[in-house]
Amino acid sequence: MSDVLTFIDGKVGRIRLNRPKAIHALTKDMCSAMIAALMEWRDDPGVETVIIDHAEGRGFCAGGDVRMLAESGSSDGADARAFFHEEYRLNHLLFTYAKPVVAFMDGITMGGGVGISQPAKYRVATENTRFAMPETAIGLFPDVGGGWYLSRLPGRVGQFLALTGARMDGAECHYLGLATHYIPAEKLEDVKAQIVVKPDRIEGILGTAGATAPDAKIAGNLIAINRHFASDRLEDILASLEGDESEWAQTELVTLRSKSPQACKVSLRQLAEGARMTDFADEMRMEYRIATHVVQRPDFAEGVRAVLIDKDNQPKWNPDTPEGVSDHMIDTIFSPLSEAEEWTPLKL
């Protein structure tokens, strides 16, 4: 059975992630299969809309094939670059797709799962949704368009999510605009069936099935987030949290100190630059440059070792302090590639 199922159901193109043992984490072949289906349906008058969901299992998509990326990064990085290039092409294709896309973010939606759901016109969260960009814990950064999406969230929530990897539930996703609709999971199959019958009535179908989301817990922390995460300098954020003795601030301080200082500084600059961009292709080009450089730096291999392989959760970051991460190091990570190596979107 394929790791991703693509088929036409009535007048709807269906993309169903089908790798449950890995919580549907993306591989390069899965990205290629999704691209092929989307390109085929793009000019097919028989396909009016696209649905992205997952088969069995507790998550929509937990990210990408991180172990492969780390193994590749420890050698020549070629396989990692090939994966990122294809994945980012998929992200850009979805972002620019002319036909409406409905993504069902039911369950774990992290990393690569964010990249294939956030470009969708309709993004459905449920009581099972657990949204996060946890990359700084493994020395990476919130890619797949994170610099675009997170930087456009209210206040400094995007910076908070990028640095801490905090998990948002379905109600919080709806509150922040990461999801357009909040629908109980038990209604999803009926909603999909209705869309297949009447793809021109998506708005009404989703609206009718929608429920009032519970109170968003993050709403009570917005003032604190905006104050403590106001700066684009990691040192300033840490100092601000250190000066606040509240339980929330001290908890977030402990969380931040466990993350890769390099990854945190990369993320802050990524969001600052992403906020100023007007073309999503420029965002993906920047993120590909970052990924190409970061995947071969020590923190990525060490983060994957500590979190996913040995699971001791005791990474030895290098540099191990924010002060040790120089502006020159960050400039190098953001530096352009040769013309032959730069990321390019699909020729549409």
What are the catalytic residues? 64, 112, 135, 143
Q: What are the two backbone dihedrals, phi and then psi, of residue 267, each rounded to the nearest 5 degrees?
A: -65, -40
Alpha carbons 105 and 126: distance in angstroms, whole number: 7
- Tokens 């890995």 sit on residue: 22
**The two three-digit tokens of residue 186, written as one number:** 């038990």
Give, in order, the Cα–Cα distances in Å from 123 to each of 17, 100, 114, 145: 16, 11, 10, 16
Buried-state track 41-63, b at ≥16 Cβ within 10 A, e below 16: beeeeebbbbbbbbeebebbbbb
The sheet with strand 130-132 has its strands ordered as: 59-61, 108-110, 130-132, 168-169
Q: What are the two backbone dihedrals, phi and then psi, of residue 87, each rounded to the nearest 5 degrees?
A: -60, -45
Give, in order, the Cα–Cα distances in Å from 111 to each of 19, 179, 208, 230, 303: 16, 15, 30, 24, 15
Amino acid making up residue 56: E
Alpha carbons 56 and 169: distance in angstroms, whole number: 20
- Tokens 């929509």 sit on residue: 60
**The two three-digit tokens of residue 281, written as one number:** 């292709």
249 with 228: CB under 8 angstroms? Answer: yes
Q: Among 177, 49, 59, which Cα is nearest to 113's?
A: 59
DSSP state of 221: G
**The two three-digit tokens of residue 205, written as one number:** 């179908």
Alpha carbons 265 and 252: distance in angstroms, whole number: 16
